[in-house]
């Protein structure tokens, strides 16, 4: 990575402003998954060791509409972070203004968590006036929120105009793994894409087809490719607007693009759905939908992964949140873990794939699990992320 990191700055006695990604799932005020908080700890512990004057942390949480909303407060994160860091974490009820400025001035090397940046509607417009107020809380800025690096917001890009800005360890790790997977993979390089929609991933498919050796497609998006091949898909999710695109991708992909050969049908989207096995090409009965890949496809994907040295996976193979249709995604998770054990580099890019690998209890058997769904997809497309571009070059 050609960007400066937190290691390249002298932080002693400095006020350090850090953009973290604490966009965690909440059940009321209970954090149901603290993965993103834990991911920030190495950077924060390193900064604490450098004896700074203060550490002020900015993050968004959820999508509050038009102003402060208690439902999206970051207050529950402060005690969770305090337990992980082993030092007191103070909470500021605003992101900018007199309260956080006073807490920073009297921090004595301590940690302050600022309230949700998105309580300011202009944050997402990269408002420089807001960014300037944020910059008052630091002498240097550390960007460690990879999950927000594809957004040009006041707290990710705007603030870099006013402070020396470098990457934290999480940003560094994400960029190194994802960029290397794309630019310099150990071959064979196999990509696996799932999820509901082809339209969300057209640019990713086109980019990966030009770089990988094989591209395995599963999930609801496979249905649109089947429709493009002229198959009757019953009630299955099919993007009518993307059928022509799917045809074009099939035509130019040669044998690189690998589709499922069988699947599981359900009569409804529910845990008590009736289930039928079907080979691809057989007509799907009216009222039924394809919800998962089948055993023959799992075996086929296993063959394609058997010699892979780099594997990137983004998106589930079926509606894995419903018990009858979870096996395809779990099986791919197991295949990936087994191949990693044999020496392959495995990278899982954000969102549902991460949930699936954690549910399978295999997260510690994967080389790198990305914390950024949209950001990792944009890197796989080969895009430059604004939150990365804004950091100081080495």
Q: Which listed residue (36, 118, 151, 214) is catalytic?
A: 36
Q: Which listed residue (328, 350, 351, 387) is catalytic?
A: 351
Q: Is there a catalytic annotation at residue 197?
A: yes
User: Cβ–Cβ contacts within 10 Å for residue 281, how many?
Assistant: 12
User: Cβ–Cβ contacts within 10 Å for residue 309, how many?
Assistant: 16
Query: Hey, which residues does 276 pair with through a beta bridge?
Result: 265
As a whole number of angstroms, the distance between CA 3 and CA 1 comes to 6
Query: Hey, which residues does 278 pair with through a beta bridge?
Result: 263
Residues 6 or more apart whose Cβ sits within 8 Å of residue 102:
none
Q: Which listed residue (302, 374, 382, 392) is catalytic?
A: 374
As a whole number of angstroms, the distance between CA 38 and CA 20 comes to 11
Q: Helix or strand or coil: residue 167?
A: strand
Q: Helix or strand or coil: residue 214?
A: strand
Instruction: List the strands of the sheet with 368-370, edge to edge.
Output: 257-258, 214-217, 189-193, 310-314, 345-349, 368-370
User: How many Cα atoms are found within 13 Å in the side-chain-facing hemisphere of 309?
Assistant: 7
- The CA–CA distances, whole Å, from 151 to 66, 158, 178, 372, 388 equal 18, 11, 17, 11, 10
Q: Which listed residue (197, 322, 334, 392) is catalytic?
A: 197
Q: Is there a catalytic annotation at residue 36?
A: yes
Residues 6 or more apart whose Cβ sits within 8 Å of residue 68:
115, 116, 119
User: How many Cα atoms are found within 13 Å in the side-chain-facing hemisphere of 198?
Assistant: 25
CB 143 within 8 A of CB 165: yes
As a whole number of angstroms, the distance between CA 363 and CA 281 comes to 35
Q: Is there a catalytic annotation at residue 374?
A: yes
E strands of 208-360, at which residues? 214-217, 257-258, 262-266, 275-279, 289-293, 310-314, 345-349
Q: Is there a catalytic annotation at residue 218?
A: no
By DSSP bridging, strand 262-266 and strand 275-279 are antiparallel
Residues recognised as catalytic: 36, 197, 351, 374
């Amino acid at each position: 990575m050609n960007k400066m990191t937190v290691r390249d700055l002298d932080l002693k006695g400095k006020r350090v402003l850090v953009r973290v990604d604490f966009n965690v799932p909440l059940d009321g005020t209970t954090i149901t998954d603290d993965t993103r908080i834990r991911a920030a700890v190495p950077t924060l512990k390193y900064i604490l060791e450098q004896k700074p004057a203060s550490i002020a942390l900015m993050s968004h949480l959820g999508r509050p509409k038009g102003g402060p909303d208690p439902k999206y407060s970051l207050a529950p994160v402060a005690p969770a972070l305090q337990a992980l860091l082993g030092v007191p974490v103070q909470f500021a009820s605003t992101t900018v203004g007199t309260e956080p400025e006073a807490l920073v001035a009297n921090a004595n090397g301590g940690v302050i968590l600022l309230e949700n940046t998105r309580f300011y509607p202009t944050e997402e417009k990269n408002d420089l006036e807001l960014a300037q107020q944020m910059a008052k809380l630091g002498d240097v800025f550390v960007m460690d929120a990879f999950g927000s690096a594809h957004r040009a917001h006041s707290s990710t890009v705007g603030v870099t105009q006013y402070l020396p800005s470098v990457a934290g360890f999480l940003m560094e790790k994400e960029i190194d793994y994802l960029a290397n997977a794309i630019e310099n993979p150990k071959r064979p390089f196999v990509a696996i894409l799932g999820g509901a929609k082809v339209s969300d991933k057209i640019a990713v498919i086109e980019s990966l087809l030009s770089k990988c050796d094989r591209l395995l497609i599963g999930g609801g998006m496979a249905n649109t490719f089947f429709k493009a091949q002229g198959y009757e898909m019953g009630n299955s999710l099919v993007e009518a607007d993307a059928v022509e695109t799917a045809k074009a991708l099939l035509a130019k992909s040669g044998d690189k693009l690998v589709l499922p050969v069988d699947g599981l049908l359900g009569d409804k989207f529910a845990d008590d759905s009736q289930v039928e096995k079907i080979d691809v090409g057989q007509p799907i009965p009216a009222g039924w939908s394809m919800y998962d890949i089948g055993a023959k496809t799992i075996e086929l994907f296993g063959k394609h992964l058997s010699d892979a040295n780099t594997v990137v996976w983004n998106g589930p193979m079926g509606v894995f949140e419903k018990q009858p249709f979870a096996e395809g995604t779990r099986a791919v998770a197991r295949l990936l873990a087994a191949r990693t054990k044999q020496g392959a580099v495995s990278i899982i890019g954000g969102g549902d794939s991460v949930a699936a690998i954690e549910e399978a209890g295999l997260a510690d058997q994967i080389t790198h699990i990305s914390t950024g769904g949209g950001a990792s997809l944009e890197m796989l497309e080969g895009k430059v992320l604004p939150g990365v571009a804004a950091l100081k070059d080495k």
